Structures are given as structure tokens and as C-alpha cells.
Amino acid sequence: MKIRFKLNNKDIEYDVEEYKRALDFLRDDMRMTSVKEGCGEGECGACTIILNGKNVNSCMILAVELDGQEVWTLEGLNEIGDTSIQESYIEKGAIQCGFCTPGFIMSTKVLLDNNPDPDDNEIKEALEGNLCRCTGYTKIIEAVKLASTKLAEKNTTVADKRGEKNAV
Ligand code: FES
Ligand code: FES
């Protein structure tokens, strides 16, 4: 079946098998290898993508369901230079084996897009669908807070620049 959708801000048209999972389609056909398969049952969040602004387990939906939708993967955030969250995970040592990390970053992105200054409980709630076997979560929470600070600083800088321009 032919599907048309937006992947990382690019228009895609592709003939896809009807019963292929979005996870396999994104990894194998689209070569988006940041999308990982952990459990394959909607439990671990390693396969998290952003679908129409929400974090979604791509192992639980079919590729045909992407038709007409907007999808982001970690590759897309890199392409547009949206790397504050990744940098924060690295700076805080919130990455060990790294298998879970793309999924965590996509869930963090959705959280901070909707709530730029979350408290600990809000972070835990937003990331509860993502499992990490290595880090023990404390550093991940610290990384999300650092990302929140970095993004706020960036926005202030942009706002300052706009202000300067308007003042000229
Ligand atoms: S692989 Fe999709 S939730 Fe675990
Ligand atoms: S860093 Fe290894 S599973 Fe999270």
C-alpha cells in the first residue's frame, strides 16, 4: 500500500507492506537506525518516535498508520541542529550502553516542548514509558533539567536578539 507522510520534515511516498510495523519500516526501509527494538511489546520505549507531536512506541503501530502523519526521529533533530537534549544527556553522564537513549531523548523532547520547566515528578511521569537498564534514572532526570535550562537560555538569547533588532 502506498503511504505519504512527513519524516523529519521531508515528504515521503513509499509502497509499504500492509502488515509491516512502523518500527521495522523506519529502521529497514527508511534507515532510521536510532529507532531501536527492545521488547517489541510496547513496554520499553526504545522504539519511541514523535508522531504528530506525541511520543509513541513504533513497535505498536503499523507503517500504514503513518499515512498522512508527521514523524520525527532522532536523526531529524540532528539534521535541524536541535541537539540541546542530547548534549545534556552526555554532559550529565545519563548514557551508558546508549540503547535506550534515542527513545529517552524523543520523550524528553515531547515533554520540554509542552512543559519547558518540569519538576522531578513531571519528568518521571513523562519518561515512565522508557526503561533504562544501566543508569538508574537519577542522571537522566538531571539531564532533562539541564536540557530545560539550556533551552530556556537559548530562547532568551533569541528573544534578546529580537529585542535588539527591534530597538535599532
Ligand atoms: S520495542 Fe517498542 S516499546 Fe519496546
Ligand atoms: S544506557 Fe543502557 S539501557 Fe539505558
- Locate the ligand 1 atom nearest the alpha carbon of residue 36 and give its number: 1
DSSP calls for 105-121: HHHHHHHHHH-SS--HH
User: At 104, which CATH number?
Assistant: 1.10.150.120
Q: State the pTM of this model.
A: 0.94
pLDDT at 165: 64
pLDDT at 23: 98
How far does the centroid of ligand 2 lie from the alpha carbon of residue 24, in Å? 21
Q: Which domain holds residue 128?
A: 82-162
- Locate the ligand 2 atom nearest the alpha carbon of residue 94 and give its number: 1
pLDDT at 167: 65
Question: Is there a domain that residue 168 lies in?
Answer: no
Sheet holding 2-7, edge to edge: 10-15, 2-7, 70-72, 48-51, 54-57
User: At 15, which CATH number?
Assistant: 3.10.20.30
Q: Last residue of some domain: 77, 110, 129? A: 77
Same domain for 111 and 52, yes or no, is no
The finding on whether 96 has its CB within 6 A of some atom of ligand 2 is yes
Question: Is there a domain that residue 66 lies in?
Answer: yes
Same domain for 157 and 98, yes or no, is yes
Same domain for 9 and 69, yes or no, is yes
Same domain for 57 and 110, yes or no, is no
**Count of structural domains within the chain:** 2
pLDDT at 157: 73
Residues 6+ apart with CB under 8 A from 8: 71, 72, 73, 75, 76, 79, 80
Question: Is there a domain that residue 167 lies in?
Answer: no
Q: Ligand 1, residues 44, 49, 61: which to mutate, most atoms within 8 A of Cβ?
A: 44
Same domain for 104 and 64, yes or no, is no
Same domain for 63 and 96, yes or no, is no
The finding on whether 161 has its CB within 6 A of some atom of ligand 2 is no
Residue 69, judged by CB atoms within 10 A of its CB (0-12, 13-18, 19+), counts as: middle
Per-residue pLDDT of the chain (168 residues; tens, 9 = 90+): 999 999 999 999 999 999 999 999 999 999 999 999 999 999 999 999 999 999 999 999 999 999 999 999 999 999 999 999 999 999 999 999 999 999 999 999 999 999 999 999 999 999 999 999 999 999 999 999 999 999 999 888 767 767 776 665
Which residues line the pocket of ligand 1, CB cutoff 6 A? Answer: 37-40, 42-47, 57, 59
- Ligand sitting nearest the alpha carbon of 23: 1
How far does the centroid of ligand 1 lie from the alpha carbon of residue 42, in Å? 4
Same domain for 88 and 73, yes or no, is no
